[in-house]
Structure 1
Amino acid sequence: MPAMNGIEATKTIQDPRLANLPIMAMTANAFEEDKHLVISAGMNTHLGKPIDIVKLFSTVQDFLSNTERNR
């Protein structure tokens, strides 16, 4: 992203009103330390590139299911 990276963006949108907003990292940086970095920044999960479409849809479905349960 030209203005900020995903870590900075995540920290910017952390707001109590958006507490249920899932944030997913999708990056080629797939080392364990990269995964820990995005999780510690407040993202919910990390998907490495190239994206596994089945895993992507499964992850989104999990987020949607959890959102429905928490209503």
Structure 2
Amino acid sequence: LLVDLQMPVMDGYAATARIRELEGGSSSKASENSGSACRVPIIALTAHAMASDEQKCKGVGMDAYLTKPLNLEELTKTM
């Protein structure tokens, strides 16, 4: 799932936190999930290019952080 950090109604941070809550609070990466529940991989796609933004993304449970303009090769590698 690609999420922008600045979305109307609910920003990417809140959306990710809510998804993780619905998943049962999983904070490990999808590949490390040993439980039977599915964990949605979430990638931040944003114009925010500060290290603090990346840390905040990781803190709410995002799996990766990509900045705009999007580099297709980087997206493919990340996915």
TM-score range, shorter chain: 0.7 to 0.9
1:21 and 1:13 map into 2 onto residues whose CA distance is 8
1:8 counterpart = 2:14: yes
Greater percentage in helix: 1
Q: Percent identity?
A: 36
- Deviating 4+ runs (over 4 angstroms): none
Alignment match of 2:48 (pick from 10, 14, 29)? 29
Once the two structures are TM-superposed, the CA of residue 21 in structure 1 deviates from its matched residue by: 1.4
The one-letter code matched in structure 2 to 1:3 is V
Q: Distance in 1 between matches of 2:44 and 2:78?
A: 11
TM-score (norm: length of structure 1): 0.76
Structure 1 stretches lacking a partner, 5+ long? 61-71
Structure 2 equivalent of residue 43 of structure 1:
62
Query: Does the alignment pair 1:55 with 2:71?
Result: no
Alignment: residue pair count: 59
